[in-house]
Amino acid sequence: MYNNILTEIDIGVGIITLNRPERHNAFDDALIGELSAAIDLMAAEPAVRVLVISSTGKSFCAGADLNWMKRAAAYSADENLRDSRALAEMLRKLAQCPKPTVARVQGPAYGGGVGLVACCDVAIGTFDAEFSLTEVKLGLIPAVISPHVIAAIGERYARRYMLTAERFSAAEAYRIGLLHEMVADDEGLDEAVGEIVEALLKNGPRAMAECKALISAVAWKPLAPDVIEDTAQRITRLRASTEGREGMNAFLEKRKPNWIAQG
Ligand code: COA
């Protein structure tokens, strides 16, 4: 059982909810361990086709728990490094989860909270969501989140927001690609997340997993012969797969593919 998160599975949708609202869902070693375990379970659970990351309270996530960071600084060098690796590994698991992931962002997301949003495939936030990469203000750096944040907003905006630690609005997050959609309130958030989830549930589960692997294999690579060959091999595998055959047959036979609930 978890103490810092809530989990549920509801008709194909796994939901992990950060539940430490009194600390604005800041993550310490306990929360990181629970998140990591829950992501593993959701990734392995066949009943889960889409994973939603949400949180309780007025903030999405205040990033790393600064009491934990302070404690970790007093550990031995090995323990300190082990702790940092645990956070880096949790973010990697989320970014590389074979199921599509959706961030449901209400209120502030700071530091590692921006990292969590950046790790998800789709991110939707309310107008009052706000963001800041506060680390340098604290004499720290946004290290373990950086690959994910740079992938989401690009190097240019990473330079600005990682260096200035300015707060930026949901509108700015939307403009620079951290959020895909902005909505007025919690109700709009549920509706928008619901629409994305509905779209994802119509897609081949294996195809979506392979699609994520494709994007990470191809992104930022030069258009060299090995990349071209790799893409040809990937589609060759998929069109010969059970799921690929079923999807094409369903289209041609004007019926729903077997991964969509019939009726
Ligand atoms: N780590 C540890 N505790 C945190 C925290 C964090 N990242 N973020 C908030 N808290 C704690 C506060 O210290 C406060 O504790 P207290 O009640 O014992 O004083 C409590 O949560 C409530 O926070 P408070 O600042 O009073 O609430 P707020 O509504 O005015 O502001 C935030 C909320 C999230 C905007 C603000 O707390 C904040 O800026 N937090 C720091 C976020 C940050 O820089 N994270 C990156 C870390 S690398």
DSSP 210-255: HHHHHHHHHTT----HHHHHHHHHHHHHHHHSHHHHHHHHHHHTTS
pLDDT value at residue 72: 87
Q: Is 79 a catalytic residue?
A: no
Q: Are 80 and 68 in contact (CB under 8 A)?
A: no
Averaged over successive runs of 10 residues, the pLDDT of the chain (263 residues) comes to 96 97 96 98 97 98 94 90 95 98 97 98 97 97 98 98 98 98 96 98 97 96 97 97 97 97 74
- Ligand 1 pocket test, pick from 66, 69, 137 with the greatest ligand atom count within 8 Å of Cβ, gives 66
> CA end-to-end span of the chain, whole Å?
36
* d(C-alpha 208, C-alpha 19), whole Å: 28
Question: Tens of pLDDT along 71-103?
Answer: 988 989 999 899 999 999 999 999 999 999 999
The pTM (predicted TM-score) of the whole model is 0.96
Structure tokens at 94: 């989320």
pLDDT value at residue 85: 96
Among residues 28, 19, 103, 91, which one has the least CA distance to residue 55? 19
Structure tokens at 38: 């829950």
| Alpha carbon nearest to ligand 1 atom 22, residue | 23
pLDDT value at residue 263: 64
- Ligand 1 pocket test, pick from 4, 18, 20, 24 with the greatest ligand atom count within 8 Å of Cβ, gives 24
3-state secondary structure of 78: helix
| AA letter at 237 | R
pLDDT value at residue 262: 75
The 10 Å Cβ neighbour count of residue 44 is 10
